[in-house]
């Protein structure tokens, strides 16, 4: 029966050709036919099937691309003709040469394009709860390996398809959770107890330029260092209401760094997908205005492709293993350019979605086959364009510069009526000082080189070429030491380089002229060099430097113990890695102090919060090993530094999470593990039980774990229904519950007043006011006696990088500079009440234009308000961090505020 059903599916898809008898079909390999209602195959079965297919088919090669965060193997199934598979190394080399474009002339590029094969990446399962993509990939693979119709054979001959599974851990977890109930009608995965990625859940599709996670690193290696596909197809669900699937093209805004050719080609592929769906009588697809997806943000898998001259596709389709319906939305019954073929309401099954997915996969591969040479030549052309632009004076036109052009032209009409004087093009848009850099120099003598290495490795993981100076050199009168790093923009991935170093200038995007701001898809400003606090110089003119290419990921250069004093060691507070070393020392029982006003070791000066470790055998063992591992120096001194100190203590940290999982909490968990902070995850039920100080010295409340009114000044926290305890396994029942004002808040108040420390980030800073802190929310207004959020016309900063001032003598700010970049996403800021006592302002906005990267409406309202506060409550401390200081583990420049809070609070509280 299952075989007959599969035959019907193929027939309805308009496909012909014999099925190879010696290749196991899915209905024979899994417990139930893939595509059946109420059934999901897990990763264990999927992996076994991949190995079966690889052993049976001469059209497929299976490649191990690395381990997941939970240790599973990630596989890529390479599918092509047997002849192509025999020459994979040659086709991979052709793809590399054309994508990197370095030294490849046009005549050579044309020859390589004629010889090469189009490379297409098609993945599944990135968001594991979007189950259609993984289940559909099983059917797609089988059909591509067995069908013998002319179109399939042409596709196999012209293309090399890389089928990847992005999140094996999540596929295993979600499928097993769904299938846990014996009664099919009771199966669901809406009550998952934790995130479907070990740390970050949905945010695994926001990690693409940072590559913090193992899975992202593995995928990026395939995309930008191994295979260089011209098309990257990233499949998702769910589709728009009243429709079946969103298919590109996307809506504006258009990022101004990438090559325009990547967008025009993307529109071609997207429309080919729509056309094939319509031709196969599969209505209900939509583009552009049908969904909020844009091409601005670099952090997603399909969008990082644009900055690497690859066509990035995203589809979002409805459905799942539990049957559903296509809703009737009246206005969607009229066809239009963005919705060419409306669909009538109907019942919808998993196999319906899989049929659509097959058609879209087929359309993408067919496009690549028919346009093989154009795609290969196009990726070379874009790379060559980038090299040329990085080798001469060039300019990027941004909204701010266009506004300046319009303002300059108001009184200078041109010869054609509405046009302005064309001479303004060069005098406004192409001024010498507004040129794009020829490169960036990152000096080797800055304070936090391990963080510099983390930044450079993020670039290298995405295929950027990085050079290192072999000896000192000078540019424009400034000397740089040997070991400094140089990132030249005359390379194929120039768009990505600019996007990581330069500020994003998001357009002033309104719902309608004069209307409120239109919400962006994800964030608007994310410049990684700013977020990580990297010191670099922009080089606008051509330059020479004695450098050699960094061959692979950079290892942190070992630090050293310097000096010969016997009293102990001084360590700078400026490197994030000093927190790791401190944790190791405290764990070993060594004494550690912060010297409030700084200290000196010979000619080396240490700023406020310098770390002093008295001599002891335990401390020596940790420091001797730690400086080498972590890349920081320790200075042996002959006496204890003079001046006041803060004695640190071993700490017990409770990281607050909620049932279902909080992504900000997950990011913090990853950070705590990386920097070796001692912590436990704690859930609301434990907080409600009271006597918190018995187990914890510090509670960390990440952004969003504290519920808030939807119309208030704080973003609403994670909500939604929770399962009944009896509906989930016993091991997860203690995770249920929510932080509440009536039950949880009194216990937190007792904890703080008794000497505990609360660290509140982002919207969770609501706790400070709830605990009676003498502060007011600056980003709010009173309406009818209620504190309300400002309207988006008044203040709207939807994920941007802002510049703030810092009091470096405050313990929370030890190791920071006087000016920092903070990631700000509709975050609260505060004013201190006149009568307040025990409140210290740590960071604040002193400008009416703090925007450094992104988009800000009403930013002048932030001037004078504080974004970070140190507040005494009883015998304890509440640390308020309005900005997202740990934003997706990208904002390394503000990590130390959190790290300091974990140690400082317990050190001084309870006295």
Tokens of 57: 């088919």
The band of 719, judged by pLDDT with boundaries at 50, 70 and 90, is low
Torsion of CA 562, 566, 570, 571, to 10 degrees: 50
Of 396, 413, 570, 390, nearest in space to 487 by CA: 390
Tokens of 881: 């961090």
pLDDT tens profile 737-793: 999 999 999 999 999 999 999 999 999 999 999 999 999 999 999 888 888 999 999
- Residue 586 pLDDT exceeds 70: yes
The predicted structure's pLDDT at residue 415: 67
Sign of the alpha-carbon dihedral angle for 842, 845, 846, 852:
positive
**HEC readout, 716-743:** CCCCCCCCCHHHCCHHHHHHCCCCCCCC
Cβ-Cβ contacts under 8 Å for 90 (sequence gap 6 or more): none
- Residue 3 pLDDT exceeds 50: no
The predicted structure's pLDDT at residue 787: 87
The band of 9, judged by pLDDT with boundaries at 50, 70 and 90, is very low
Cβ-Cβ contacts under 8 Å for 111 (sequence gap 6 or more): none
Angstrom distances, CA of residue 844 to CA of 397, 821, 905: 32, 11, 21
Sign of the alpha-carbon dihedral angle for 693, 695, 699, 703:
negative
pLDDT tens profile 652-691: 999 999 999 999 999 999 999 999 999 999 999 999 999 9
| Domains located in the chain, CATH noted | 2-385 (3.40.630.10), 399-424 (no CATH), 436-549 (no CATH), 561-647 (3.30.70), 653-719+734-908 (3.40.50.880)
The band of 718, judged by pLDDT with boundaries at 50, 70 and 90, is low
The predicted structure's pLDDT at residue 502: 98
Of 902, 901, 842, 908, nearest in space to 875 by CA: 908
Q: What is the C-alpha separation between 717 and 705, in angstroms, rounded?
A: 5
pLDDT tens profile 286-327: 999 999 999 999 999 999 999 999 999 999 999 999 999 999
Mean pLDDT of 372-378: 98
E strands, 320-364, in order: 324-326, 346-348
CA 856 to centroid of chain Cα atoms: 21
Q: What is the C-alpha separation between 902 and 810, in angstroms, rounded?
A: 14
pLDDT tens profile 786-823: 889 999 999 999 999 999 999 999 999 999 999 999 99
pLDDT tens profile 354-369: 999 999 999 999 999 9
Q: What is the C-alpha separation between 865 and 776, in angstroms, rounded?
A: 10
Hey, is 276 helix, strand or coil? helix
Hey, is 332 helix, strand or coil? helix
- Computed over every residue of the chain, the mean pLDDT equals 95
Cβ count within 10 A of residue 4:
9
Torsion angles phi and psi, residue 485, rounded to 5: -105, 145
Contact, 879 vs 760, CB < 8 A? yes
Q: What is the C-alpha separation between 534 and 451, in angstroms, rounded?
A: 8
The predicted structure's pLDDT at residue 411: 79
- Residue 13 pLDDT exceeds 80: no
Crossing angle (nearest 10°) for helices 214-221 and 449-461: 50
CA 459 to centroid of chain Cα atoms: 14
The predicted structure's pLDDT at residue 14: 35
């Amino acid at each position: 029966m299952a075989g007959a059903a599969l035959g019907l599916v193929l027939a309805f898809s308009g496909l012909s050709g014999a099925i190879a008898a010696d290749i196991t079909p899915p209905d024979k390999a899994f417990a139930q036919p893939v595509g059946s209602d109420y059934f999901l195959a897990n990763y264990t079965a999927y992996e076994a099937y991949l190995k079966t297919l690889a052993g049976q088919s001469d059209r497929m090669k299976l490649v191990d691309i690395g381990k997941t965060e939970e240790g599973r193997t990630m596989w890529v199934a390479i599918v092509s003709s047997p002849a192509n598979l025999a020459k994979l190394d040659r086709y991979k080399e052709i793809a590399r040469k054309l994508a990197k474009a370095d030294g490849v002339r046009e005549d050579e590029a044309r020859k390589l394009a004629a010889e090469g094969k189009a490379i297409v990446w098609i993945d599944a399962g990135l968001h594991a709860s979007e189950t259609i993509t993984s289940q559909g990939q099983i059917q797609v693979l089988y059909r591509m390996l067995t069908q013998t119709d002319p179109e399939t054979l042409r596709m196999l001959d012209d293309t090399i398809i890389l089928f990847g599974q992005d999140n094996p851990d999540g596929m295993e977890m979600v499928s097993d959770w769904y299938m846990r109930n014996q009664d099919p009608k009771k199966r669901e995965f809406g009550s998952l107890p934790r995130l479907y990625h070990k740390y970050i859940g949905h945010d695994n599709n926001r990690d693409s330029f940072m590559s913090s996670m193992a899975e992202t690193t593995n995928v990026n290696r395939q995309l930008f260092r191994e295979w260089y596909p011209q098309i990257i197809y990233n499949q998702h669900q769910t589709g728009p209401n009243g429709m079946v699937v969103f298919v590109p093209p996307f809506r504006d805004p258009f990022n101004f760094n990438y090559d325009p050719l990547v967008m025009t080609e993307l529109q071609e592929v997207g429309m080919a997908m729509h056309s094939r769906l319509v031709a196969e009588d599969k209505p209900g697809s939509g583009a552009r205005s049908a969904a909020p997806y844009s091409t601005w943000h670099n952090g997603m898998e399909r969008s990082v492709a644009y900055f690497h001259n690859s066509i990035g596709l995203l589809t979002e389709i409805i459905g799942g293993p539990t049957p559903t319906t296509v809703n009737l939305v009246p206005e969607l019954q009229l066809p239009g350019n963005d919705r060419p073929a409306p669909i009538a309401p109907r019942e919808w099954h998993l196999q319906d979605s899989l049929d659509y997915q097959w058609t879209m996969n087929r359309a993408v591969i067919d496009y690549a086959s028919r346009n093989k040479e154009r795609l290969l030549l196009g990726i070379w052309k874009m790379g060559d364009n980038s090299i040329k632009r990085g080798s001469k004076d060039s300019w990027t036109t941004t909204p701010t510069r266009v506004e300046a052009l319009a303002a300059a032209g108001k009184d200078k009409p041109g010869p054609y009526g509405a046009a302005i004087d064309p001479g303004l093009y060069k005098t406004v848009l192409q001024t010498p000082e507004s040129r794009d850099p020829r490169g960036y120099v990152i000096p080797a003598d800055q304070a936090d080189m391990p963080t510099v290495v983390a930044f450079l490795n993020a670039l290298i993981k995405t295929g950027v070429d990085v050079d290192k100076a072999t000896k000192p050199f000078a540019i424009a009168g400034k000397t740089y030491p040997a070991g400094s790093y140089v990132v030249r923009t005359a390379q194929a991935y120039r768009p990505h380089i600019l996007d990581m170093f330069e500020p994003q200038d998001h357009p002033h995007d309104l719902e309608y002229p004069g209307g409120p701001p239109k919400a962006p898809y994800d964030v608007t400003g994310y410049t990684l060099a700013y977020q990580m606090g990297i010191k670099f110089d922009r080089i606008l003119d051509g330059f020479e430097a004695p450098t050699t290419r960094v061959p692979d990921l950079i290892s942190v250069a070992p630090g050293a113990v310097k000096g010969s004093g016997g009293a102990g060691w001084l360590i700078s507070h400026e490197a994030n890695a000093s927190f790791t070393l401190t944790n190791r020392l405290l764990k070993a029982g060594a004494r550690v102090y912060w010297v409030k006003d700084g200290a000196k070791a010979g000619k080396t000066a240490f700023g406020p919060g310098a770390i002093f470790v008295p001599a002891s055998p335990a401390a020596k063992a940790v420091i001797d090993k730690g400086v080498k591992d972590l890349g920081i120096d320790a200075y042996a001194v002959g006496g204890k530094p003079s001046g006041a100190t803060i004695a640190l203590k071993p700490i017990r940290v409770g990281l607050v999470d909620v049932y279902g999982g909080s992504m900000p909490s997950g990011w913090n968990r990853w950070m705590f593990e990386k920097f070796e902070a001692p912590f436990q995850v704690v859930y609301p039920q434990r907080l409600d039980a009271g006597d918190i100080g018995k187990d914890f010295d510090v509670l960390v409340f990440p952004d969003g774990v504290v519920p808030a009114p939807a119309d208030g000044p704080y973003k609403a926290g994670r909500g939604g229904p929770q399962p009944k305890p009896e509906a989930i396994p016993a091991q997860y029942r203690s995770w249920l519950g929510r932080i509440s004002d009536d039950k949880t808040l009194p216990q937190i108040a007792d904890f703080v007043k008794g000497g505990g420390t609360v660290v509140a980030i982002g919207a969770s800073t609501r706790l400070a006011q709830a605990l009676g802190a003498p502060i007011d929310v600056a980003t709010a207004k009173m309406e009818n006696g209620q504190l309300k959020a400002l309207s988006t016309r008044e203040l709207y900063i939807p994920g941007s990088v802002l510049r703030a001032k810092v009091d470096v003598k405050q313990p929370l700010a030890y190791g920071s500079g006087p000016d920092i970049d903070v990631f700000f996403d509709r975050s609260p800021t505060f004013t201190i009440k006149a009568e307040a006592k025990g409140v210290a302002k740590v960071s604040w906005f002193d400008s009416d234009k703090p925007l450094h990267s992104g988009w800000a409406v009403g930013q002048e309202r932030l001037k004078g308000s504080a974004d970070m506060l140190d507040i005494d409550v009883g015998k304890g401390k509440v640390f308020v961090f309005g900005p997202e200081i740990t934003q997706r583990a990208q904002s390394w420049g503000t990590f130390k505020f959190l790290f300091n809070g974990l140690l400082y609070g317990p050190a001084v509280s309870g006295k």
